[in-house]
Amino acid sequence: MSERFDPPRDLVRPFLFEAIDIRGACIQLHEAWRQMLAGRGYAEPVMQLLGEMTAVTALIAANLKQAGRMTFQLKGSGPVDLLVLDCDEQLRLRGMARARPQLAAAAVPELLGHGRLALTLDIAAMSQPYQSIVPLDGDSVATTFEHYLNRSEQLPTRLLLAASGECTAGLFLQKLPSADQKDPDGWNRVQLLADTVKPAELLGLPPVQLLSRLFPEEDIRVFDPRPVAYHCPENRDKVRDMLRSLGQAECEAVLQEHGEIVIHDDICNHRYRFSPDEIAELFRTS
């Protein structure tokens, strides 16, 4: 394994235990994660959940082979009732959480309650999006996604995740079909070693250094990193199209009541304001 150490950038770094046929990836997000949090004011427990889900979404989306978009929606009955993460094949992320204000720390099952995890996969080459929905099953974001991946991909998977206000990070491990033939104890050994990782190491050690610390005796092939970015630009034209679809009469009724039309984009945290003159011009040109 190369001794290169990565700078603190937003990267997914895939790797492979060549002798035992186990694949994996490390992720650390710094600037992209801070951009996603900007202006949100999430309570600490909400930030933790969203950060861990951000890391695991990018880790899974890094396996997209075709142009498309992957959206995970975790919807529950608890005080954190919605987490949404969206990522495309270029690893451009966006996401949001919805929760009760002034939320106190609690165990993840208490925060989320009963609910479901839904994946929507919209690939350009597919005639329609693919959707998979499973019940929430696990006492953490990591175990919830482990159960989902074990069920959907039929490959044993381990996830270790951590998040702070400055960084979110994760370690993904997956046992490939021929692993037991190559080393019957390999998967068990790698999991035991991975379990020694501390959250501060996930968040602070560069990926190559982290792998060297956790698996010093293993032969690991480390691949080139892939950059991850927060991507949620304003799209005023899309909002104009939505207002046209509502119709002039309904827009004018809102103007009469409020004096302006204000649209809030929850996932990107953008606010769009339209004056009476702008609405009049919108329908003159439609």
| pLDDT number for residue 6 | 46
pTM: 0.89
Q: Which helix (H) or strand (E) holds 82?
A: strand 80-88
User: pLDDT 10s digit of each residue in the chain, 286 long?
Assistant: 544 444 558 999 999 999 999 999 999 999 999 999 999 999 999 999 999 999 999 999 999 888 889 999 999 999 999 999 999 999 999 999 999 988 888 999 999 999 999 999 998 777 788 899 999 988 999 999 999 998 888 899 999 999 999 999 999 999 999 999 999 999 999 999 999 999 999 999 999 999 999 999 999 999 999 999 999 988 888 888 899 999 999 999 999 889 999 998 888 988 999 999 888 888 886 5
Instruction: Check: CB of residue 213 under 8 Å from CB of residue 205.
Output: yes
Torsions phi, psi for 104 (to 5 deg): -85, 160
Q: Are strands 92-99 and 229-230 parallel, antiparallel or unpaired?
A: parallel
DSSP letters spanning 160-213: EEEE-SS-EEEEEEEE-TTHHHH-TTHHHHHHHHHTT--HHHHHHS-HHHHHHH
- Tallying the residues shown for the chain, one arrives at 286
**What is the reported pLDDT for 286?**
59
Which residues have a Cβ under 8 Å from the Cβ of 241 and sit 6 or more positions away? none
Q: What is the pLDDT of residue 199?
A: 96
Q: What angle do CA 221, 223, 228 make, to 5 degrees?
A: 145
Domain boundaries, given as residue ranges, for the chain = 11-230, 236-284
Q: State residue 101's pLDDT score.
A: 85
- CA 98 – CA 51 distance, rounded (Å): 13
Q: CATH number of the domain at 11-230, out of 3.40.50.150, 3.55.30.10, 3.30.56.10, 3.30.470.20?
A: 3.55.30.10
Query: Considering only the top CATH level, what class is 236-284?
Result: alpha beta
